[in-house]
């Protein structure tokens, strides 16, 4: 039996939700929120409660649908109803069964940013317009977790039969559901109740959340308590990185910088905390100060700092390229840095340099379909079609033919080289997986047109050949 997955989003995020559903077709029974989940005869809460009883996992697409003004600065935020649904699912299933994804290259202000949980990211603004390809990597991460955890409903049946070894239906994450619903008292009570059952970093994180909730309830006392909590736990990176974010989210930008600065100075200018402090300044629209802080930590020697510094510049920027190359010269084996540099070189049409780096990556990390796919793209730009097709085939093999953007690329290459019928077959496979992709339909239409044009040429050449052959025969008779 396949696990069941609920996929939530705003209307604006439906394309991504559908793409995730398609990517997980072979692994689960996925239902997007607009596919009969909400019964017209029931309230939203009743419909969600019913859905929760039958689902094993939840996936939520966080897109920047609204804009919130915080201290004269407009920030993208997530719709309240999506956050509410997320809270319900976490409260019922626990954090390990609920995923959320955000577009890369954007800063979306959401409470879940503060949980210490890394969100999944999908590629926004892809040139090929493929939503399914954009969500391919994050869906693979989900797939691994889904296979590891299996069915939630099997455990629920054990609970109903009185099997005490099956665990409890309530999870330690119930408090977050209350937090999302702004029931801060209930959330605090549950967090405090759980303190006696945990210790170490987990206990410290709960105490931090209790302080943050107090800030949301009472600005004056809560602000003092949260700041004192941060100062009392200098040396704990999770506290040092999350508290500035909490303060920023509540529009205490100056305090966010103050706490980040204190942690940074107490650490003897730790490069890792330099990125936290730089982010605090960058969020406060002081990009120059953010860059100044990062520059002090020798980005040429520290790839993490270099990538953080490069991210403050726009794509196709010579400054960005210079930073990445400077660090690469001293860190020529850093995987993340090499990939970041290869992509920037590709964006700037420096394809030979990009090819060199991507070739290094596929040699050392041959199981990455992403590296093979981008190597194929670079080879196409350099008219190296044999190598491009080989690389694309490797990517297809690694994804088990489940990644539409790889299938698109194979179809495009075949079409460009005149193998239109084969191209059509590959493009149809891609469209079957991603039926709403305008890009895919456009490519298929071009391949069909090219096939018709080639057939018309074939018919014309056949007529010309017949006529020419008759002339050759007449010439032979005349010579006789």
Tell me: the pLDDT tens digits for 151-167? Answer: 875 544 444 444 433 33
Residue-wise over 247-280: b if at least 16 C-beta within 10 A, else e?
A: bbbbebbebbbbbbbbbbeebeebbbbbbbbbbb
DSSP for 330-383 reads T-TT-HHHHHHHHHHHHHTT-HHHHHHHHHHHHHH-TT-HHHHHHHHHHHHHTT
How far is residue 312 CA from its own chain's centroid? Answer: 19
> What are 345-386's pLDDT values in tens digits?
998 999 999 999 999 999 999 988 888 988 988 998 899 988
> What pLDDT shows up at residue 473?
63
Q: What is the mean pLDDT of each run of 10 residues along the chain (480 residues)?
A: 86 86 88 70 61 86 58 53 75 80 72 57 81 87 84 53 40 67 86 85 88 86 91 88 86 91 89 89 89 94 92 84 95 92 92 95 89 89 90 83 74 82 82 73 85 89 87 61
DSSP conformation class of 95? G
Q: To which residue do tokens 């942690």 refer?
A: 263
Can you give the pLDDT at residue 128?
Answer: 80
Q: Which residue has the tokens 């456009």?
A: 442
**pLDDT at residue 179, as a whole number:** 79
Tens of pLDDT, residues 365-375: 998 888 898 89
Would you say the pTM of this structure is higher than 0.85?
A: no
Give me the sign of the Cα torsion angle 51, 56, 58, 59: negative
> What pLDDT shows up at residue 478?
55
Residue 171 confidence (pLDDT): 44
pLDDT for 67 equals: 38
- Give the integer Cα–Cα distance in Å for 197 and 171: 13
């Amino acid at each position: 039996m396949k696990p069941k997955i609920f996929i939530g989003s705003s209307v604006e995020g439906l394309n991504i939700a559908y793409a995730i559903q398609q990517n997980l077709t072979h692994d689960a029974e996925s239902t997007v929120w607009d596919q009969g989940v909400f019964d017209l005869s029931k309230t939203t809460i009743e419909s969600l409660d019913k859905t929760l009883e039958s689902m094993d996992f939840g996936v939520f697409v966080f897109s920047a649908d609204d804009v919130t003004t915080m201290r004269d600065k407009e920030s993208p935020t997530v719709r309240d109803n999506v956050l509410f649904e997320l809270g319900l699912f976490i409260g019922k299933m626990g954090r390990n069964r609920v995923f959320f994804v955000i577009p890369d290259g954007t800063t979306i202000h959401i409470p879940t940013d503060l949980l210490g949980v890394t969100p999944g990211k999908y590629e926004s603004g892809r040139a090929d317009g493929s939503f399914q390809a954009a969500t391919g990597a994050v869906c693979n991460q989900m797939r691994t977790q889904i296979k590891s955890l299996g069915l939630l409903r099997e455990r629920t049946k054990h609970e109903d039969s009185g099997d005490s070894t099956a665990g409890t239906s309530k999870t330690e994450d119930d408090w977050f559901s209350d937090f999302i619903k702004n029931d801060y008292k209930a959330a605090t009570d549950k967090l405090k109740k759980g303190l006696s059952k945990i210790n170490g970093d987990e206990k410290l994180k709960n105490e931090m959340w209790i302080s943050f909730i107090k800030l949301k309830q009472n600005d004056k006392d809560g602000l003092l308590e949260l700041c004192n909590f941060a100062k009392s736990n200098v040396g704990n990176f999770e506290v040092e990185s999350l508290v500035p974010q909490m303060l920023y989210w509540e529009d205490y930008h100056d305090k966010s910088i103050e706490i980040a600065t204190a942690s940074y100075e107490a650490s003897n200018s730790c490069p890792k905390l330099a990125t936290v402090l730089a982010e605090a300044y960058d969020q406060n629209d002081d990009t120059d100060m953010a860059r100044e802080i990062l520059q002090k930590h020798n980005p040429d020697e520290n790839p993490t700092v270099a990538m953080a510094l490069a991210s403050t510049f726009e794509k196709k920027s010579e400054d960005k390229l210079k930073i990445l190359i400077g660090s690469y010269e001293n860190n020529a084996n850093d995987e993340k840095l090499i990939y970041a540099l290869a992509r920037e070189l590709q964006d700037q049409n420096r394809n030979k340099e990009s090819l060199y780096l991507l070739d290094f990556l596929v040699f050392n990390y041959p199981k990455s379909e992403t590296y093979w796919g981008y190597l194929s793209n670079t080879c196409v730009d350099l008219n190296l079609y044999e190598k491009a097709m080989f690389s694309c085939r490797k990517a297809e093999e690694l994804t088990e033919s489940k990644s539409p953007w790889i299938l698109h690329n194979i179809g495009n290459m075949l079409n460009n080289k005149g193998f239109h019928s084969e191209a059509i077959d590959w493009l149809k496979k891609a469209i079957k997986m991603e039926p709403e992709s305008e890009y895919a339909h456009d490519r298929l239409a071009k391949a069909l047109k090219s096939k018709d044009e080639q057939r018309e040429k074939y018919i014309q050449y056949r007529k010309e050949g017949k006529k020419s052959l008759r002339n050759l025969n007449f010439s032979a008779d005349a010579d006789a």
